[in-house]
Every structure is written in structure tokens, then in C-alpha cells.
Copies of this chain bind each other. A is one copy, B any other.
Amino acid sequence: MKRAVILLSGGLDSVTVLAMAKEQGFECYTLSFNYGQRHDVELVAAEKLSKQMGVKEHKVIPIDLRSIGGSALTDDAIDVPEHHEVGIPVTYVPARNTVFLSIALGWAEVLSAQAIFVGVNAVDYSGYPDCRPEFISAFEQLANLATQAGVEGHKLTIHTPLINMSKAEIIQHGIKLGIDYSQTVSCYQADNKGRACGHCDSCYFRQQGFKQAGIVDPTRYQG
């Protein structure tokens, strides 16, 4: 059976990607990171959804990106802003996707997996440089030079099925695949029950997505 490593934050996008990888017939291995993020309650969602969706193995790797800092998500001195600033937002975590994909690459090699799935999105991607198609394409090229599998000619593919979809399209597709979005956590400052703030970039894009999809927003909000 063909295998895939899926980067799973526990948010709306990555859970949809997991459902898509399953639909494509992959045996799924989900990978989450405890990187010192404010909203680490998303890891509870990732664990729960991995079980519900029948993944083969779910791994949470601790990696202290707080010791590097430089982001509102990993430095308590920088507040999470309300939507919507111009340019790259302060919630951007330096090199986060590069780090996460690299570790996924290591696990993919150990598993002899042919694919890594990641839920990056170029439409409403909040201005993060490491969500762009040219970044993903450069990473795929790197991946096939970096590993023993690559040297031996076993090509690894980076799948980004959401990259050209709007949030509304992602939600509509996920609903068809049976996802219960009330269990996913997107908010950058969700409380310890997984309830969203309703004000940050991530909440904004999610709210707009449900509205445009014409689907009742099942998100649990604070207060």
C-alpha cells in the first residue's frame, strides 16, 4: 500500500488534506509539532482527529521554536494582531514550513513513503512566504537530492491539494468527505477548550470561508 506523511496541525486545512490523502488511497501517517505555539490546544484536535480518521500512526514531535522567537505565535511579547494588516503578518514563524517539511522528509524516508501532504494555500495564505507554489516546488527538488531514497531514484512528491482552492471550496470539499469541522482548531489564540477568539487572521479567513460556502459555521467561540 502506498504511504504518505501528512502534516497535521489540527486546523481546518490540514484535516481536509488528511481526508483527501485517505480518499486517494494512501496509508496515512500524521505528523504534528509542539513548537511552543500559543495555540497548542490544536494538538489535542490533531490527536483526536487522527484516531477518528483511522490513520496508521500519529506522531507529535517537540521542537522548541520559542528559543528562536521572531513571531507572535512563539513569543509572548508580540501580540496576535486583529485581522488585517498589510504584508507578511507577525504571526509568520520564521522558516516554520521548511522545518516541518524537513522533519516530514526524514520520517518519509524511514517509512519509504512516496508522498508528503501539506495544506498550504496560495489564495488566502495570509502572506506567508513559505506557502507559495515556488517554495513547495523548490522543497520537492531539495527533497529528492537530500535523501538516500532520492539518490536511489525513488521520487518523493509533495502534495498540496489546497494550494489553488479558496477557503469556501476547501470547506465544501471537506463536508463532502464527511469532516466535522467543529472539532478542528484554526484560531491563533484558541483557549484551552479549543474555542476561537473570532478576531485574528486565521479566524477571519475561516469565518469568510463558511459564509462564502453557504454553510453554517460550526466553530466554537469564546465568551
CA distance A110 to B99 in the complex (A): 15
Instruction: Say whether A109 faces chain B, with CB atoms less than 8 Å apart.
Output: yes
Nearest Cβ distance between residue A35 and chain B, in whole angstroms? 10
- B68 pairs with A106, CB closer than 8 A: yes
Instruction: Say whether A145 faces chain B, with CB atoms less than 8 Å apart.
Output: yes
- B96 pairs with A151, CB closer than 8 A: no
Name the residue in A101, A138, A146, A151 with the highest tally of chain B Cβ atoms < 10 Å from its Cβ.
A146
Instruction: Say whether A23 faces chain B, with CB atoms less than 8 Å apart.
Output: no
Residues of A44-69 at the interface with B, using a CB-CB cut-off of 8 Å, are 59, 61-65, 67-69
Instruction: Say whether A208 faces chain B, with CB atoms less than 8 Å apart.
Output: no
Instruction: Say whether A161 faces chain B, with CB atoms less than 8 Å apart.
Output: no
Nearest Cβ distance between residue A86 and chain B, in whole angstroms? 13
- A59 pairs with B70, CB closer than 8 A: no
- B94 pairs with A148, CB closer than 8 A: yes
